Amino acid sequence: MIFSKSLKETHGPGAERDLELILALLAEVPCRVDADQIRPLTGDGSDRRFYRVAGDCPCVAVFPARAHPRAMAEARSCYTIACHLADLGVPVPRVLGHDRQNRIILFEDVGDVHLHSLAVARQSFSEVQPFYLQAIDGLLKLQVEGVKGFDSRCCWDTPSYDMDLMLQRESGYFLQAFCREYLGRFVDEHGLNQEFVQLARRAARERPDFLLHRDFQSRNLMVHEGKVRIIDFQGARLGPLAYDLASLLIDPYASLSSKEQRVVFDYYVEQAVRLVPDFDPDQFRRGYTFLALQRNLQILGAFAFLSQQKGKIFFEKYIMPAASSLDERLHDVADRFPRLTELVGDICGDLHEAAPYTKLNESLSD
């Protein structure tokens, strides 16, 4: 069987085997598709492989990452969680086929329009506000309905969002990937770690008995036929409500203004009061502050790692907005986290000074 040169160039010698597996799975659906109707897609930070299938059976085939030691566990979680959420009416793509042995999933094709692209192109927030409110409706469905009958044993990574995860994979990630490796900064780690523990303790006080997406941001929200659909949910686990909301509102891709964030935040609270028993808006607002800080630390660690270690330079241009967001957020709690506040302020100053040279180098390379 002969496949297009572009597939080999994009995904290497394994692409032919991928195509054979896709065609075999489509035959089981059953659906007949020609090989030239299958094209590779690129993922953002993921090492999984994606292919779009056109024709009579529009869908997206998702393969486990080749080099990931726990790729099959991740793919198993993806399938199990996708079926669970779809059964509960959460707006996720439907599973159309599944190769259990190779852990390939055929998902309903929900297009290629991210909420991010609409948010960036907006002339005013009113153009995208309906989609953000739809996203909130879908998020609450996932968080509140999705936890019903959810078996945390299906989580491939960790079963819950807890202090260990915060300290290792968020504040620790910020310190290692962003400060040490990306910026080459040597900092007062003992003092910072004391503040990170304090932050994690406060964030961990929020109710952890909801379903957490953990990467609920504008590039994981597709707008298809006027409806918002949620993707990249395979990292779902138990956790607090406010984390996913913070992920959406402080999302550096979309750069929502404070006023725009308040509109969406207030809508979330209005709906949560109606949907969540014993929901306390004041307590939620207080907890949001600390969970947003945790998320902001995670974002900077991830963007630094992906751009420097993975060579995905797409993420680098969002480091400055993410750092500025963290700087602004820390001003309200500077008395509780003075070392972190000072460090982030210094980093933002350095990044601002470096920005003109970075832009010049980018224009020259173009």
* Pair 38, 151 in one domain: no
Output the average pLDDT for the chain: 92
**How confident is the model over 303-311, as a mean pLDDT?**
95
Comparison of pLDDT for 85 and 359, the residue scoring more: 85
Comparison of pLDDT for 165 and 9, the residue scoring more: 165
Burial class (CB in 10 A: 0-12, 13-18, 19+), 83: middle
Give the end of a domain, one of 72, 87, 108: 108
pTM: 0.92
**How confident is the model over 228-237, as a mean pLDDT?**
98
* Pair 361, 222 in one domain: yes
* Pair 48, 127 in one domain: no
* Pair 98, 132 in one domain: no
Cα separation, 329 vs 74, in Å, equals 33
Q: Which residues contact 167 (CB under 8 A, 6 or more apart)?
A: 196, 197, 200
- Print the domain residue range for 41: 5-108
pLDDT for 31 equals 87
Q: How many domains does the chain have?
A: 2
**How confident is the model over 33-46, as a mean pLDDT?**
88
pLDDT value at 11 more than 90: no
pLDDT for 13 equals 61
* Pair 87, 207 in one domain: no
Task: Compute CA distances 298 → 125, 173, 174, 236, 291, whole Å.
Answer: 26, 6, 6, 16, 11
pLDDT value at 2 more than 70: no
* Pair 95, 134 in one domain: no
Peptide bond into 30 cis (omega under 30): yes
pLDDT value at 88 more than 70: yes
Comparison of pLDDT for 187 and 43, the residue scoring more: 187
Q: Domain holding 10: CATH number?
A: 3.30.200.20
Going by pLDDT thresholds of 50, 70 and 90, the confidence category of residue 357 is very low
Cα separation, 16 vs 95, in Å, equals 23
Q: What is the pLDDT of residues 114-162, one digit of tens each?
A: 999 999 999 999 999 999 999 999 999 999 999 999 999 999 999 999 9
Give the end of a domain, one of 78, 108, 138: 108
Give the end of a domain, one of 108, 123, 154: 108
pLDDT for 56 equals 85
Q: Domain holding 173: CATH number?
A: 3.90.1200.10
